Amino acid sequence: MAKTAAQKNRAIRQTELREYLASRGSLSYILDNIEKIEELDVSSETFDKELAKCKIANEQRIRLLNKYLPDIKEEHIINEDAAPIVVNIVKPDGID
């Protein structure tokens, strides 16, 4: 089936946005924020504020990535036999 001009333009914009997101290192920024969260001092007065700041930044970047990159995840399976990646989130001691 032939693509319409609107579909072609949308594909071009998506490709450009993917390249932009890749060049900005959005995923690495998210991983850096996770490391910052792990290093936060629980007893600090600014703990809640810093945690919220990193959490919001990560949520927004993840939303942006999910909005524009979901079809890449589904189309490009590199190794079907590879074990899935598992992430365990652990609460620091003293946090309720």
Q: CB neighbours of 3 closer than 8 A, spacing ≥ 6? A: 11
| Mean per-residue pLDDT of the chain | 78
Number of compact structural domains in the chain: 1
Interval 4-10 mean pLDDT: 87
Does residue 44 fall inside a structural domain? yes
In this structure, is residue 74 part of a structural domain?
no
- The 10s digit of each residue's pLDDT in 13-59 is 888 887 877 777 667 888 888 888 888 888 989 999 999 998 998 88
If DSSP codes are grouped into helix, strand and coil, which group holds residue 90?
Answer: coil
Band (pLDDT 50/70/90 cuts) for residue 70 is low
Q: Does residue 78 lie in a domain region?
A: no
Full domain range(s) for residue 47? 13-68
Q: At 65, is the pLDDT very low, low, confident or very high (cuts 50, 70, 90)?
A: confident
> Is residue 30 in some structural domain?
yes
Does 46 reside within a domain? Answer: yes
| Nearest-angstrom CA–CA distance, 71 and 37 | 29
Q: Is this structure's pTM higher than 0.85?
A: no
Confidence of residue 2 (pLDDT cuts 50, 70, 90): low
